Chain A
């Protein structure tokens, strides 16, 4: 195994590392689209929180193309795709216990969503 040189660390710290792969991908959704999150319970990594699975939301913002953490965390490919800010009402997430004035915005990827 090659030795880790201090210069290399400095370079990465100064430059940072990016989750934007710099390749284009066709978005499946646009702001304003109604979406439903998948009801998935993978044993591996996922950025879709438990409380937001199988829920209806609205695409609020398209952040652009990012690597897909759910597969990237297991060396199953970067799967570049659009990541969106998806807005959920608190009532959709928590039922009658949710405050009617609250919204939750979650950054989710194309592969977490289906059209609704």
Chain B
């Protein structure tokens, strides 16, 4: 599909930022997202090419303004929902619950 992932030949993004001693993961959630993606790959409900397509379907504006592992998270969630492992409502409920917990922890 002609999505935002197909960046070859596009102008205007500026130089690639290089980090000295770049870590594998910048945030703890990225490590978990990576692990769950690989584990679900091992489950065998979908294949690698389906995983790529799931990331490519991210709306272009969102794709270009989010990080690499946010693309992975989007693809993972889409596949978990499509294959009936979890519903969008369940994910949203959990996010709301975590947000409330964090809110309480801060007060």
Q: B9 contacts the other chain (Cβ, under 8 Å)?
A: yes
Is the pair A17, B48 in contact by a Cβ cutoff of 8 Å? yes
- Looking at the assembled complex, report how far the CB atom of B72 sits from the nearest CB atom of chain A, in whole angstroms: 16
Closest residue to A1 on the B side, CB-wise? B85
Contact call B2/A45, Cβ cutoff below 8 A = no
Assess A9 versus B38: contact at CB under 8 Å? Given A50-B9, A94-B9. yes
Asked if A72 lies at the interface with its beta carbon under 8 angstroms from chain B, I say yes
Chain A 1-34, CB-CB to B under 8 Å as 1, else 0, gives: 1001000110111000101000000000000000
User: What number of B residues sit within 8 Å (CB to CB) of A?
Assistant: 20
Q: Which segment of B13-21, B50-58, B61-69, B97-105 sits at the interface?
A: B50-58
Q: Using Cβ atoms and an 8 Å threshold, which residues of chain B touch A94?
A: 9
B24 contacts partner chain A, Cβ-Cβ < 8 Å: no
Within 8 Å of chain B (Cβ to Cβ): is A63?
A: no
- A42 on the interface (CB 8 Å rule)? yes
Closest B residue to A73 by beta carbon equals: B49
Task: Tell me, rounded to whole Å, the shortest Cβ–Cβ distance linking A7 to chain B.
Answer: 10
A75-89 near B? 1/0 per residue, CB < 8 Å = 100000000000000
Question: Taking the nearest CB of chain B, how far is it from the CB of A4, in angstroms?
Answer: 5
How many interface contacts (CB-CB < 8 Å) are there between A and B?
A: 56
A13-B1 in contact (CB<8A)? no
Partner of B42, one of A13, A19, A42, A74: A13
A41 and chain B: residue at smallest CB distance: B2
Q: How distant is the Cα of A95 from the Cα of B35 in the complex, in angstroms?
A: 43
Given known A-B contacts A1-B85, A45-B1, A51-B9, A13 and B56 have beta carbons under 8 A apart: no
A49 at the interface (CB under 8 A from B): yes
Query: Inside 8 A of B49's CB, which chain A residues have their CB?
Result: 45, 67, 69, 72-73
> A46 on the interface (CB 8 Å rule)?
yes
What is A's interface to B at a CB cutoff of 8 Å? 1, 4, 8-9, 11-13, 17, 19, 41-46, 49-52, 67, 69, 72-75, 93-94
Question: Could you jot down 10 A-B contacts, CB within 8 Å?
Answer: A1-B85, A4-B42, A4-B43, A9-B42, A43-B1, A45-B52, A49-B6, A72-B50, A73-B52, A74-B53
